[in-house]
Amino acid sequence: MKNNPLEKLKTQLDIIFNPSSVAVIGASRDPMKVGHVVLRNIVEAGYKGRIAPVNPKAHEILGLKAYTSLLEVPFSVDLAIIVIPAPFVPQAMRECGEKRVKAIVVISGGFSEVDEEGEALEKEVLEIAEEAGIRVVGPNCQGINNTHVGLCATWPLIKCKGGISLITQSGTLGAAFSCWAEEEGIGISKCVNLGNKADLNELDFLHYFGEDKESRVIAFYIEGVSDGRKFMDIASDISKRKPLIALKGGRSPAGSRAVFSHTGSMAGSDAVFDAVFKQTGVIRAKSLEEFYDFAKVLAYLPLPEGRGVFIVTSTGGSGILAADACEDAGLTLTEPSEEALKRLRSQLPSRCTFRNPFDLTTTTADKFRLVIEENGGNPDIHGFIAIFGDPIPNAAEEIKAASESVKKPILVAYLGGGEVEKVEKTKMHSLGIPVFPSPERAVAAYSALVKYSEFRKRTENSLID
């Protein structure tokens, strides 16, 4: 089993995300330098392993004893983060080999992305790594993160634990996603920025996150793939178990020229990517916000059994916008049954709109639960979108209770609620209920849930046949 190359890869990547000790080669005392920021973020994220800042001129950085060379570190080092100028990287790599470091993240730029000299340097780095049996992330990348062990070897500081793992060919897009997840309390699980992919590439991390229990959803931003055939095999395999969400840069001629300038990738025909994503069950996002929203909903909600959706709202206008968006997305607004209507009419004021969208008008959170529960047993209603307008307290508790009783996905939009909205949103996110800021974003996210559910059904049926 140990000889299985995928098992070996798993062991190697485990070291990257769960090292017992970390060295930051190029740790700096200057708060403006990346070598300082990365060290500080590892410390502030609460990493529990041993940390060795390496800096030829410093004795202490951020209260940690610093070492003039990696070879002086008195304990063994699992993972080295390299943030020194490119020309010094090969020597640092050799010391890593000597020190028996198990994995390296090269944040430093100045390699193949720059010029031929950089390309030669990158080749040298790779050769040293191969000889020493060390796997490398980067170079020219924005690092890695595993919130579950506080290993924020990237920036900005991201600490909130969650179920989404991220693979990105752009440091900023990973950082933006992570910032939103941090701010909303959604959190991420692991994040890797690929950089130049001299050694490890998106396929390696896809495979690893595919097996990783903490990664409930894998979201990846790519500009091209290293091996199309292999990508299809891995993606089809993972999609059967957990959702994959893709954002692909370079859809258009202008974008694909920019892709070539950015990472030297060939963006490839967008129609081909589209077909590949469809076939392998990868949910494709059209924008960065969709990328985030789709991951958020797929990480937290159960899958609906069909396209029938019921909208319950305290805001008529938002219900209308949601209905428009549902129709655009091919979702079915199932009308409530006569029995459910009868029960609801006896419990709610006549000013409500007794249909789908169900408009409670001015109301309280328990009424949302009432409407959801009274329609929960309807076999043609496969999930709910609850839209809170106004500052309505206790939305979190009532939706949580409704979720537990109906056992169908309930997705929430909350808007126009000022301070109460902020409180309820935070509570809901901590309870695993995803909240969206507008009716249209809620419906788009819900559609992603339906799309993935339909893929899962198709593959399960084809397994049975």
- Contact positions with a second copy (CB under 8 A) in 90-109: 109
From the CB of 50, what's the least distance to a second copy, in Å?
Answer: 26
β 103-106/79-82 pair status: parallel
Instruction: Work out which of 172, 279, 405, 430 binds a second copy, going by CB under 8 A.
Output: 172
Cβ contact 58:87 at 8 Å: no
DSSP letter assigned to residue 334: P
* Residue from 116, 338, 404, 419 binding a second copy (CB under 8 A): 419
Distance CA 311, CA 320 (A): 10
Among 325, 365, 372, 445, binds a second copy (CB under 8 A): 325
Q: Is residue 328 within the footprint of a second copy (CB under 8 A)?
A: yes
CB 378 within 8 A of CB 336: yes
Shortest CB 436 distance to a second copy, Å: 10
Does 317 bind a second copy (CB under 8 A)? Our answer is yes
Instruction: Please report whether residue 424 would count as binding a second copy according to CB under 8 A.
Output: no
Residue from 146, 165, 239, 315 binding a second copy (CB under 8 A): 315
Q: Is 458 in the site for a second copy (CB under 8 A)?
A: no
Binding of a second copy at residue 147 (CB under 8 A)?
A: no
Please list every residue from 381 through 400 that binds a second copy, using CB under 8 A: 389-391
Name the one range near a second copy by CB under 8 A: 3-11, 150-158, 211-219, 339-347.
150-158
HSE on the CB side for 393, CA within 13 Å?
1
**Per-residue contact flags (x/-) with a second copy for residues 106 to 125, judged by CB under 8 A:** ---xx--xxx----------
Of the candidates 90, 97, 316, 432, which one interacts with a second copy according to CB under 8 A? 316
> How buried is 436 (Cβ within 10 angstroms: 0-12 exposed, 13-18 middle, 19+ buried)?
buried
Choose which of 90, 255, 306, 432 interacts with a second copy (CB under 8 A).
255
φ and ψ at residue 354, rounded to 5 degrees:
-90, 65
Q: Does 417 bind a second copy (CB under 8 A)?
A: yes
Tell me: does residue 221 bind a second copy (CB under 8 A): yes
In the complex, least distance from residue 178 CB atom to a second copy, rounded to whole angstroms: 8
271 near a second copy, judged by CB under 8 A: no
Interface with a second copy (CB under 8 A), residue total 78
Closest by CA to 108, choosing from 39, 49, 233, 196, is 196
Per CB under 8 A, does 333 bind a second copy? yes
Q: Does residue 10 belong to the site contacting a second copy (CB under 8 A)?
A: no
Beta carbon of residue 224, minimum distance to a second copy (angstroms, whole number)? 11
Residue 401 one-letter amino acid:
A
Pick the closest to residue 334 from 388, 376, 365 (CA basis).
376
Q: Which residues in the 335-374 window bind a second copy by CB under 8 A?
A: 350-351, 353, 355, 357, 359, 361-362
Sign of CA dihedral 70, 133, 198, 271: negative
CB of 173 to a second copy, least distance (A): 5
Could you say which of 5, 418, 462, 465 contacts a second copy (CB under 8 A)?
418
Cβ 306 to a second copy shortest distance, Å = 17
Kindly write out the interface string for residues 282-311 of this chain, putting x where it contacts a second copy by CB under 8 A and - elsewhere. Answer: ----xxxx----------------------
Torsion of CA 358, 383, 420, 163, to 10 degrees: -170
User: Closest CB to a second copy among 10 and 251?
Assistant: 251
Q: Per residue, what are the HEC states of 13-33?
A: HHHHHCCCEEEEECCCCCCCC
Length reported for the chain = 465
Do the bridges between strand 144-146 and strand 151-153 make them parallel or antiparallel, or are there none, so unpaired?
antiparallel
Cα separation, 235 vs 232, in Å, equals 5
With CB under 8 A as the contact rule, the residue among 28, 165, 169, 363 that binds a second copy is: 169
H/E stretch holding 167: strand 164-168
Nearer to a second copy, 201 or 314 (CB): 314
Helix (H, G, I), strand (E, B) or coil at 450: helix
Q: Which residues pair with 414 in a beta bridge?
A: 388
Q: Looking at residues 17 to 76 of the shown chain, list those that interact with a second copy (rule: CB under 8 A).
A: 34
d(CA 317, CA 413): 13
Q: d(Cα 433, Cα 411) in Å, to the nearest integer?
A: 7
180/178 Cα distance (integer angstroms) = 5
Q: Does 156 bind a second copy (CB under 8 A)?
A: yes
